[in-house]
Every structure is written in structure tokens, then in C-alpha cells.
Amino acid sequence: MAKRGNNEGSIYEQEWPQTRVRKDGTVVELRRRRWVASVTLDNGKRKTFYGNTREEVARKLARGLVQFERGLPFTPETLTVGKYLSDWLDSMRPTLKPKTYASYEQLIRVHIQPGLGKIRLGKLQKADVNRFLANREHAGSSPRTRQYLLSILRMALEDAVDDELIARNVGKLAKSPRVAQREIQPFDQHAVNALLDAGRNHRFEHLLHPGAAHARTHRGPAVADRRAEKRERSPCCTAYRTRRR
């Protein structure tokens, strides 16, 4: 009989004993069975699929071989998003600061694990991520928190792509939450003058408004009044506050 070559899978039934203890203390030995399909790929790696019937493992084997021929990665069937994130966080711990690690751990445990943890990593879709973010919004999570959650998920999935566990990073395809800009109301001239008057003769007066303070203190009230009149005639601008990350 010729030896099977690479990419030629084999299917067989596997049986193993299992013991069970009844309430009365009696030990019963059972025989467990399952079907197994295994294949050795051209790169030397061996992949195994399990199922309850021969037809089930045959479908899994055929689908896996098609993925390999297309250059797509094999994702372990039992690997869930939750399990992968736990392993990923452990691997990242030496490279993270303690506060950063604590923040990642809290966000993953409280938000991502309950929302996406049970989904198999290879089955995760963009719609799942968008639905998760929408649920977080309905639960009251702020846009900034949802941005952090998506950022962590994107980083973890990008490492999964590099490790050839998944073909693409669906986190990058998900829509990022937008943080509303908060308009800043600048001081008018009267408020500026009041601030300068309050800080007059203080040792940090020059930090308030060096130009105006210098003009009013050393060039006399006439110069200061002319500058104030010029500022009042100038068009006012609207500023928005932004955050640096």
C-alpha cells in the first residue's frame, strides 16, 4: 500500500476509555468515540480536525485544504476571541508599563470578554465588532472608552495576523467612534483686563500675559488703551480643545 503524500488527509474513528463515579460510589467505565481527520501539509505542519461523524470531519478537512491552497491561515477551531486575548495580554505584559497593563486587563475583562469572548477567532467579522461597539454605546460607555476598546482589539488582531492565525484584521474595518469636540469660550476683553488686574504686582504676573502686562506697566495707560481698542475691533475666533495621545 502506497504511503500517503502531503496534503492527503486521513480519516479514522478514535476510541478511548472514560471512567465515571456514580453517587453510590460505583465506578463505571465508558467507551468514548469521535471521528478524526488529520493531514500533513507541505510546510511539515500537521493539522487535526475532530467531529462526531465521519461526514463532519470530512467537510472540515476539505475546507481546511482549500484554505491552505489559497494561502489562508489555519485557525484552531477551539480558539475563541476570549482565549486569544488572554494569551495575547500575557505575552504583552513584559513590554507594557504596569498602569497600561492594568488598563488593558480591565477593559478586556469588563468589556471585550463578555461581548466578543465566546466567538471563535477565525469566525470574527466586522459586523460582530460594530455590534459590540453599538452595545457598549447603549450600555453607557463614552466614545473615548469605545475608542480605547477598538484600539486594543485592533492591536491584538494585528498580532494574530502576524502569527498567521487569521487572514485579516477585522478591527481595522470597523467604524471608529467619534469623540465630540468641545467648543472653548475664550475670554472677552473685560475678562482679560480683570485677570490682569487681579494678577498685578504678583511675582508671576508676567506669566499671565507678558505683552499686555508689560505694556500696561511700563508704557503707560495710553498705549494699553490703544491696544485694547485694537483687540476689540479684531474679529473673534472660535477655538476647539483637542487631546494629545
**Of 142, 144, 112, 152, which is closest to residue 128 (Cα–Cα)?**
112
CA distance 35 to 58: 9
If you compute the radius of gyration of the chain from its CA atoms, what whole number of angstroms results?
32
Which three-class secondary structure state does DSSP give residue 204? coil
How far apart (Å, rounded) are the C-alpha atoms in residues 32 and 160?
34
* φ, ψ at 231 (rounded to 5°): -65, -35
Q: Return d(Cα 173, Cα 52) in angstroms, integer.
A: 35
pLDDT at residue number 44: 72
Instruction: Give the sign of the dihedral formed by CA 131, CA 73, CA 153, CA 118.
Output: positive
Burial class (CB in 10 A: 0-12, 13-18, 19+), 150: buried
pTM: 0.54
Q: Report the pLDDT value the prediction gives residue 127, as an integer from 0 to 100.
A: 94
Q: What is the pLDDT at residue 194?
A: 82
For 55, the grid coordinates are 461526514
Cell numbers given for 31: 467507551
Give the Cα separation of 133 and 173 in Å (integer): 13
139: CB partners within 8 A, 6+ apart: none
Look-up of cell digits 494629545: 244
Task: Report which of 51, 64, 67, 68 is spatially closest to residue 12, judged by C-alpha positions.
Answer: 51
Residue 132, pLDDT score: 95
Q: How far apart are the first and last CA of the chain?
A: 65
Please tell me the predicted confidence (pLDDT) of residue 75. Answer: 65
Give average pLDDT by consecutive 10-residue segment, the chain, 245 residues. Answer: 52 78 77 80 73 83 72 69 92 92 95 94 92 94 93 94 84 86 74 78 69 45 54 50 50
3-state secondary structure of 199: coil
91 DSSP assignment: H
Distance CA 166, CA 120 (A): 11
Which amino acid would we find at residue 4? R
Is residue 165 within 8 Å of residue 73, measured between CB atoms? yes
